[in-house]
Amino acid sequence: MKDFNLKHTWTIAKYHMLFSLRSGGGIVFLLMTLVSAMVIASIFILPVEAMVGAGGDLGLGNDPAITGNIIKEISGSSIVRGLVNWLIGGEGQGSYLLNEKPALLSCIMLALLMLLPFLVCFGAFNQTTSDIANKGLRFILLRTERVNIYLGRVMGTVLFSLTTVILIMVLLVLYIQFKLGIYEVGSLWIWSVQGGVAYFMLSLPFVALCAWISSSFESPFGSLLLCLLFTGLPAIFLKMLNRYLDADFSHKFWPTGWKFGMLNSDLTMVLLTGTVLFLFTVGFLMLGLRSFQKRDL
């Protein structure tokens, strides 16, 4: 780490972020993430829009207050609350997410958080793989150290993911605010910021994991497959271990086990989740950097 140079790292990050948009993977990631977010959002929003439309047809007018009350009725039901409690694995969290916060946005955010680790793989699988394969990194190595290249690429990928997350949240909130108009503007935006932070924090360890895998392989396709496998398989294995041991902590040994923690009502839990996700990120970064420092470029 003694060769670390922030100026070099930042320059590499900036160019990697811009280059992401020129590369096929970047465009596919952007389009896939945006389309997935819109499809998930439509699953929750279309029925609400149908309710608003039906209200208009019945002569009740398109009053957002009526629709808001219907959503409150649905989200207040014990079945829906129980479902969210089961999903998050915390008693009382269903009530917090559905009654105290904008329920529609909470549901969309929960669904997106489940999908996010896999989407991140599409944007992060090719941080160094292609350049290792075509020996392109040798030219950059004349000007800077390996640590700056590695951390610069990771930082660029994180910035690219962050931009995509911000774009998704802004699109969703603007749509809910202006088209449906069922929530108070302030609470909607504050909750969306917390959701954005949750996405960002959850994406960090997976970007670092993909950076590690990406620096260990010379085939972009192989790297993508392994990124997807290492994102999903440990989570499934640890869930099965939970069943086998009759425990409820095994899944916490992988970042996916903390995916909903940033939306918790308890501030201590939010801080703990943030710390754990950060530690996972640092761990994956150290392992990846160690492998990148030693490998033949």
Partner 1 sequence: MSESTRPGGLIALAILNFLFGAIGFLVVSSRVLSLAMKEQVIAQDPRMEVIIHDITVTSIIFGTVLTVLLIVSGVGYLKQKRKLGYLLGNLTSVIWMGYIILTTSGFNIMSSALFLFPVLTLMMLNVMFKEDFINP
Contacting positions for partner 1 (CB under 8 A): 21-28, 30-31, 34-35, 38-39, 41-42, 45-46, 49, 171, 175, 179
Closest CB to partner 1 among residues 36, 265 = 36
CB 196, CB 262: distance < 8 Å: no
Closest CB to partner 1 among residues 125, 254 = 125
Q: Provide, rounded to whole angstroms, the least separation between the CB of residue 34 and partner 1.
A: 5
Q: Provide, rounded to whole angstroms, the least separation between the CB of residue 165 and partner 1.
A: 16
Q: Provide, rounded to whole angstroms, the least separation between the CB of residue 209 and partner 1.
A: 23
Q: Provide, rounded to whole angstroms, the least separation between the CB of residue 255 and partner 1.
A: 28
User: For residue 243, with 0-12 CB atoms within 10 Å meaning exposed, 13-18 middle and 19 or more buried, which class applies?
Assistant: exposed
Output the furthest CA–CA distance in the chain (Å, rounded): 73
Q: Provide, rounded to whole angstroms, the least separation between the CB of residue 39 and partner 1.
A: 7
Q: Provide, rounded to whole angstroms, the least separation between the CB of residue 38 and partner 1.
A: 4
Q: Provide, rounded to whole angstroms, the least separation between the CB of residue 212 and partner 1.
A: 23
Closest CB to partner 1 among residues 28, 271 = 28
Closest CB to partner 1 among residues 38, 276 = 38
Closest CB to partner 1 among residues 175, 249 = 175
Q: What is the 3-state secondary structure (H, E, C) of the chain?
A: CCCCCHHHHHHHHHHHHHHHHHCHHHHHHHHHHHHHHHHHHHHHHHHHHHHHHHHHHCCCCCCHHHHHHHHHHHHHCHHHHHHHHHHHCCCCHHHHHHHHCCHHHHHHHHHHHHHHHHHHHHHHCCCCHHHHHCCCHHHHHCCCCHHHHHHHHHHHHHHHHHHHHHHHHHHHHHHHHHHHCCCCHHHHHHHHHHHHHHHHHHHHHHHHHHHHHHHHCCCHHHHHHHHHHHHHHHHHHHHHHHHHHCCCCHHHHCHHHHCCHHHCCCHHHHHHHHHHHHHHHHHHHHHHHHHHHHCCC
Closest CB to partner 1 among residues 135, 179 = 179
User: For residue 31, with 0-12 CB atoms within 10 Å meaning exposed, 13-18 middle and 19 or more buried, which class applies?
Assistant: exposed
Q: Provide, rounded to whole angstroms, the least separation between the CB of residue 28 and partner 1.
A: 6
Closest CB to partner 1 among residues 34, 70 = 34
Closest CB to partner 1 among residues 43, 279 = 43
Other Cβ atoms less than 10 A from the Cβ of 284: the count is 22
